[in-house]
Structure 1
Amino acid sequence: MTSRISPVSLAALLISFVSFVAQTAAQDVAEPHPGEALYTASCANCHDQLFYKAPSRVFLSALGPKNILAVLNDGAMREQAAALSSSNRVAVAEYLSGKSLADIVEPVLPPACDADHSFDSSLPPISRGFGVDLQNTRFQPGETGGLTAENVHRLEVKWSFAYPDSIQARSEPVYGAGGIYMGSQDGTVWALDAQTGCLRWTFNATAEIRTGVAISPWSADDDSIDPLIFFGDVIANVYAVSARTGELRWKVRVDDHRDATMTGTPSIYTGRLYVPVSSLEVVSAGNSEYECCSFRGALLSLDAATGKQHWKSYTTDKPPEPAGKTSNGTNILAPSGAPIWSSPTIDSKRNQIYVGTGENYSSPADGNSDSIIAFDLETGEKIWVAQQTQKDAWNTACFLGFPGTDNSNCPEEDGPDYDFGSHPILVNLPDGSDIVVGGQKSGHAMGIDPDSGETLWRTAVGRGGIQGGVHFGIAAESDSLYVPINDLNFFNDEQRYKWETPAKPGVYSVNAGTGEIIWSAPAPTDVCNDMPFCTPGISQAITAIPGAVIAGHLDGRIRIYSREDGTVLWEKNLLGKYQTVSGEEATGGAFSGGGVLIAHGLMYVNAGYGYNLHIPGNALVVFGLADE
């Protein structure tokens, strides 16, 4: 059964879906709101047409005017809203939300922690952040995680938390000092007690936080430690904040490009913070008058204590320069793009750092897009490039076809848009050798020689597509590589890719040394039953524990699969409402972006992804082991 999202079927279901969203806007049809005409002229072409990466207007109605205004002023839509005056932006925000800024009610916070639940230096971090370890395996050992294949059947809900004014929960938490730290859509960083959910502190970033949170390590006997947490916002600021107090230590904008952003979680190693930079210019290029494109993917090495830059290296070999004109006379700049969407991987033995890159944004494509690249940890020098898809140049102009628009900024290559949205993993094989493995939106997994960059094997696991294939993250336990497949048929994907094989959403176990598929666990295709925005595949980064792998699906179910044969050991449907520690309700949704956090017998699960036409939500649901 092919999982498909089509504009026609979705449009017919929008009205029925409004009741699922946390809040809805009640518009006065007798007297048009002053923001209506502004929205129609500046925003509706994408948000009413269910355009790729543009949240549906139904989802936007679940946000408050404060959050929408922040997105227009300083967030992902700041360039698209640049022509609107301050008062016009307010009008659009109030129109979409159906609420006035003057009527905002501040969210109810969780109860404040008492002394027994304050920062505890005797409980150091059990991971560095997104990848768990330096090699980015996303494997949490049983000694520190407390969960294994043998006990996950006992998982039950312990407590829940609602991200205020949000329709997606994608910033993966990190554990340390008895607390958890995570970002959110409205730019708030939350420090909660890991056991109870009481509030230690909050920090307000300038804009939305899509990265996970990384944390500096310390030893349990260091009572005087003042460790830092690190994260990035959607306008390419990276922050260092005290894990103990929530005070800002430093803040650096890591790229001057107007569309620069951060999605990948920074990696910390030996006092340096390695920061990946990606871009929203792929969206700006949808404007046929925009000179596409000038962004270059980048990796930075910063001093973790001060934010001082040690080096900055680019994924493309030279800055963009004039490369012709489009059919309507707009300048073309190239090479461009090759953003880094995911968390860097550290190879301490070879003194190397590995990243995955996305497509070029303009023609001609170069040899660095859709690649895994090795850089020198100390100098930032590019060591090798293992390109997996050649001649891939794409931007959102290739999707355009709405009245009054044209696709002249679409590169000649027109895709296939087969980024690495997932991080590389450095796997130590049983024979003592090492291999770098990756997963691509094309649906392929591959193994690469870390010394030479030679591709040793490449296996077609899924069919691929614009949202994967592999989207946000693979995992590994020893030589078992877990590959999550989405295989969503999005918009005109069927026409674009001309697939000859069926969709294969689910989890696959692949031998990391050879590329052989060991087992497959296809996702159930009879769960959604025509529910709007529901599809069975896996977009989020998955997480491994001893003997099992944990995967949240776009259908709102989280499932734990056996390492031995892919049998489902435990499953939970997170669609619905959850009573939270603050007394309010949280709403579960689809899973995407960062994966689950495992720490000391608890599993922290973000549920909700009102983006790219998936089920919205704003819940953090915490599971623990029931008594036997």
Structure 2
Amino acid sequence: MRKFTSMLVGLAVSGVSGLALAAENLDGTSLYDQYCATCHADPQDVRTPNREALASYTANSLYSALTDGIMQAQAAALTNAQKIALSEHLTGSRMQAESVAGLARCEQAMPHLELSLNSNWNGWGNGLSNERYQSAQGTAINATNIDELELAWVMGLENSTVARAQPTVINNTVFMGSPSGSVHAMDIASGCAYWSIEVPGEVRAAVTVAYSQALDQYLAIIAENSNHIYVVDARSGEALWDTEVDDNPYARSTGSPVVYGDRIFVPVSSIEVGAAGRPDHHCCTFRGNMAAFDLNTGDKLWHTYIMDEPELVGQNSAGNPVYAPSGAPIWQAPSIDPERNLVYAGSGQNYSRPASNTSDSVIAFDMDSGEMVWVYQTTGQDQFVMGCRPDGAHPNCPDPGPDLDIGAPIVTTTLSNGQEIVVAGTKGAEIYGLDPTQNGEVLWRTRVGRGGALGGVHWGMSFHGDVVYVPVSDRSGITDEGEPRQPGLHAIDMKTGDVLWYAPVPERCAGERGCMDAYSSPITATDDLILAGSLSGYLFAHDPETGALLWEYNTVREYDTINGVEASGGSLDATGPVLSGDYMIINSGYATFGQMPGNAVLVFKLKN
């Protein structure tokens, strides 16, 4: 279990015997110069935080990134003591012991977990199509009373600068993971815990709750970051089964598992994009994949890699071997099309060349066999890893592509005219309407900004009726077309692809470090509200008919918490608002690509 032991903390605070470390360099400045400065002193990639931005992290969060996060490969040559010394030097803070979240135990019994309640928000997208919509029967919050929301309670995430595990709500019970590996089932009214368990690493995906007829149990499906799935009794937290998905050492679980019938569909992403930033890394061996498991037993039903196994294709300019094809991770929750028996997912860029025809693609998998039924590629020849430079000077990136993943879930629906449609949004700020009855044939294609590595569509769209609502970041990067920046919210008629309206993101930043006016986070729709979180830390509500701004709330502040962990808000990214009955839950803070740090889970309630 990834916990900071008393031995580790003692090492951080008091040091160890000078004799034992006589030959070990623990000078933070020289460690930074040797292992970090090449990328962080003058970042060429907009996603790489500079030296100043690293100071906004906690020592624990940097240590985690160096130990089992995206910087694991870069820190492979460092000892544990050196990782601690480097983390403390860069942040100016000391390592802290992992605190056990001080949630009070619930005195009352957990309510019955009825999955058909309108007020539920289950998993990432609140539905098989990832619509991120809550009906008027499911939420009491609307345009006439949203300004009556009050902060009910706040939970602090221990030793963290990100809050990226979106909650699930089933009949007033909140299921949620955390950066520390704690998973809780909590009462939505008070935040007391019905149960809490620990898994080895971060849980950043939403927990999915399902009912097993065979077991006569409600199950909670937990995707742990190291690409391990844990299935527990949703009422008690008791472990039932667990399994590894992909044995590649760089495989990770970021997208939430989705359940249909007795099958769990699990997407697989990767941190090899970071490892390949080392010139001596033998790039690359990971390849995007999806797997299906039996809900009741954990048996693997199928496992589909979306490209051939990598082969040696040459060597880079540093003399190291190059393997291809590789990359094309699946970052997000899949969508289900029961009528055609298909599972849809979008993929990211390739890591090496020759590139595959399945990167930056919409992929339809057969639900029973895992066979790829059809593929539509939105951007070809897109090879990119961390450390890529425009001049091609990086040995693992001699010909960089634009890095235009499909990072947000695919959405699918039937329109009022009877047209069945699959819609995908890319980081290139293009929205595609595809025909699932014609193997993904393009119905329309609409540009909504200039796009780029941190531009376009990032985490999630929403739709209701015939309209898809598209948040656009456009915080950096530029397309070949030279389009203007359009950060904000776009409403698109899915019958035609026409833009119905565009609402620019409200400007609330005034020079604060990490503050950016951009819609990167996933949005949430109701009948009369579109809720969108900005990298400025503000949550905004727009009118779905016109885009007019109706309400706003600044989450960037210090909070008292129910669990005794100091908490503050920051950029809204990676997760979106969850609506259930009288309640709204927001995760605030995301210090990953230079945004404002934070570690707060905010629970709002309408005034009585």
Structure 2, unaligned stretches of length 5 or more? 1-11, 19-24
Aligned to 1:603: 584
Q: Does 1:110 align with 2:103?
A: yes
Among 548, 551, 556, the alignment partner of 1:570 is 551
Whichever residue aligns with residue 428 of structure 1, its letter is T
Whichever residue aligns with residue 522 of structure 1, its letter is P
Aligned to 2:324: 334
Inter-partner Cα distance in structure 2 for 1:498 and 1:585? 45
CA contact (8 A) 2:273 2:385 kept: yes
Q: Does 1:83 align with 2:70?
A: no
Q: Give 1:491-530 correspondences, 5 Å limit.
A: 493=477, 497=479, 500-525=482-507, 527-530=508-511
Among 331, 334, 352, the alignment partner of 1:344 is 334
Whichever residue aligns with residue 230 of structure 1, its letter is I
Aligned to 2:416: 430
Q: 1:56 to 1:246 in 2, by over 3 A?
A: farther
Q: What per-residue deviation string (whole Å, max 9, x for no partner) do you get for residues 475-503 of structure 1?
A: 101111000000012xxx35xx4662321
Inter-partner Cα distance in structure 1 for 2:238 and 2:32? 38
Among 93, 113, 120, the alignment partner of 1:121 is 113
Aligned to 1:20: none
Question: How many corresponding residue pairs?
Answer: 585
Inter-partner Cα distance in structure 1 for 2:114 and 2:131? 26
Aligned to 2:352: 362
Q: What per-residue deviation string (whole Å, max 9, x for no partner) do you get for residues 419-458 of structure 1?
A: 0011110122012331001111010111000122101100
Aligned to 1:372: 362
Whichever residue aligns with residue 305 of structure 2, its letter is Y
Among 278, 283, 288, the alignment partner of 1:287 is 278
CA contact (8 A) 1:212 1:594 kept: no
* Counterpart secondary structure, 1:227: strand
Inter-partner Cα distance in structure 1 for 2:172 and 2:115? 6
CA contact (8 A) 2:61 2:161 kept: no
CA contact (8 A) 2:463 2:525 kept: yes
Pairwise CA distance, 1:165 = 0.8
Greater alpha carbon shift after TM alignment, 614-623 vs 85-94: 85-94
Q: What per-residue deviation string (whole Å, max 9, x for no partner) do you get for residues 128-163 of structure 1?
A: 311111111111112123333343232222221111
Q: 1:200 to 1:41 in 2, by over 3 A?
A: farther
Q: Superposition RMSD on alpha carbons, in Å?
A: 2.8
Pairwise CA distance, 1:97 = 5.7
Aligned to 2:4: none
Whichever residue aligns with residue 466 of structure 1, its letter is A
Among 24, 39, 42, the alignment partner of 2:35 is 42
CA contact (8 A) 1:76 1:235 kept: no
Pairwise CA distance, 1:196 = 1.1
CA contact (8 A) 1:509 1:520 kept: yes
Pairwise CA distance, 1:106 = 2.8
CA contact (8 A) 1:292 1:332 kept: yes
CA contact (8 A) 1:286 1:400 kept: no
Among 259, 271, 280, the alignment partner of 2:262 is 271
CA contact (8 A) 1:355 1:374 kept: yes
Q: 1:310 to 1:370 in 2, by over 3 A?
A: same
Aligned to 2:456: 469
CA contact (8 A) 2:121 2:578 kept: no
Whichever residue aligns with residue 554 of structure 2, its letter is N
Pairwise CA distance, 1:550 = 0.9
Aligned to 1:441: 427
Q: 1:399 to 1:536 in 2, by over 3 A?
A: same
Q: 1:260 to 1:176 in 2, by over 3 A?
A: same
CA contact (8 A) 1:608 1:617 kept: yes
Whichever residue aligns with residue 121 of structure 1, its letter is L
TM score, norm. by length of structure 2: 0.90
CA contact (8 A) 1:341 1:357 kept: yes
* Counterpart secondary structure, 1:142: coil
Q: What per-residue deviation string (whole Å, max 9, x for no partner) do you get for residues 348-374 of structure 1?
A: 011001000111111122211111010
* Counterpart secondary structure, 1:144: coil
Q: What per-residue deviation string (whole Å, max 9, x for no partner) do you get for residues 82-131 of structure 1?
A: 22234433444454565666x73735613221125x35435766243111
Aligned to 2:596: 615
* Counterpart secondary structure, 1:216: strand
CA contact (8 A) 1:147 1:546 kept: no
Aligned to 1:160: 154
Aligned to 1:13: none
Inter-partner Cα distance in structure 2 for 1:123 and 1:193? 16
CA contact (8 A) 2:121 2:579 kept: no
* % identity of equivalent residues: 37
Greater alpha carbon shift after TM alignment, 258-267 vs 46-55: 46-55
Greater alpha carbon shift after TM alignment, 128-137 vs 61-70: 61-70
Among 158, 174, 179, the alignment partner of 1:180 is 174
Q: Give 1:149-298 correspondences, 5 Å limit.
A: 149-217=143-211, 226-298=217-289
Inter-partner Cα distance in structure 1 for 2:52 and 2:192? 32
Inter-partner Cα distance in structure 1 for 2:206 and 2:123? 7
TM score, norm. by length of structure 1: 0.87
Among 399, 414, 420, the alignment partner of 2:406 is 420
Q: What per-residue deviation string (whole Å, max 9, x for no partner) do you get for residues 5-43 of structure 1?
A: xxxxxxxxxxxxxxxxxxxx9999xx9964553344223
Q: Does 1:545 align with 2:537?
A: no
